[in-house]
Amino acid sequence: MVDYFFSFDKAENTKALALGFGSLYNHKRLPNAHYWINMEAKTITFYALENIDKHREICINYGGNPELEFNEWFTARNITYYDA
């Protein structure tokens, strides 16, 4: 269940759940969307990095280095995942 939460404040070890579809967006190393967490307003804003056609999946990067083929989010969960 914790996989659907965003790290909100690492110092306080708090998590945030994005309502709507925000917590369900899949990972892509080079995503078509990104998010911004505003700790003061306690909001998560998603925005497109390119035009996203109808019926195309919205993907974000789960926080890994886009230069690497693997992602720390998956490695921490012992999941083998490669995204071209």
pLDDT digits (tens, 9 = 90+) for 33-62: 999 888 888 888 999 999 999 999 999 987
Q: Return the residue matching tokens 């999946």.
A: 57
User: Which residues lie below 8 Å from residue 53, measured CB to CB, with a gap of 6+?
Assistant: none
Give the closest residue to 59 by CA, choosing from 43, 46, 42: 46
Contact indicator for 29, 83 with CB cutoff of 8 Å: yes
Among 11-15, 36-40, 75-79, name the most confident range.
36-40
pTM of the model: 0.68
Q: How far apart are the first and last CA of the chain?
A: 27
